[in-house]
Amino acid sequence: MVTNYAYEGFNSEKMARASGKNLSISLKKTVETLKEIRGKKVSVAIKFLEGVISLKSAVAYRRYGAEMAHRKGKGIAAGGFPVKVAEEILILLKSAMKNASESELGEDLYLISTSARKGTTRYHYGRYSGRKMKSTNVEIIVGLKDKPTKKVVKKEEVKK
């Protein structure tokens, strides 16, 4: 079985990956939660997700925030506490950390890429023709952050 991944620049020497297929969580809430933790250090992201689960820190809804209540926090207008989504992402994040420790990447890891896509459409039995169930595919990639290289400019090139 061939798996198609969303991130194409994967380097197995510097990165580790974890993915969840057909998770029964909301796609819209997953997109907002992943956008909130993308690019952060893994330890900071884990603390944030645990805060969401304990209803202490809210996820800002920037794209799918129509008719949502305001929440406390810096830079948050509309927001919410997607507990079920945070629990699933936390499981995947810990799995990616274990994959990174197997590859001996170290402890100072960052979330390089996070993506959520619509999963397969399943139907729950019910009156009339049934009801569609929510399903989401999630991919998380952690890895070492590349240090920016400084370009050395010679004085002769500047004068030209």
What total number of domains does the chain contain? 1
Residue 100's domain comprises 17-148
Domain membership flag for residue 67 = yes
- Say if CB 19 and CB 50 are below 8 A apart: no
Domain membership flag for residue 91 = yes
pLDDT in tens, 42-53: 999 999 999 999
Confidence band of 12 (pLDDT split at 50, 70, 90): confident
For residue 109, give the nearest of 42, 49, 44, 46 by alpha carbon: 42
Confidence band of 21 (pLDDT split at 50, 70, 90): very high
Which CATH number do you get for residue 54? Answer: 3.90.470.10
What's the pTM? 0.82
Average pLDDT over the chain reads 86
For the chain, what is the radius of gyration of the CA atoms? Answer: 19
Position 70, amino acid: H
Domain membership flag for residue 54 = yes
Domain membership flag for residue 11 = no
Q: What percent of the chain has pLDDT over 90?
A: 51
The whole-angstrom separation of Cα 86 and Cα 23 is: 12
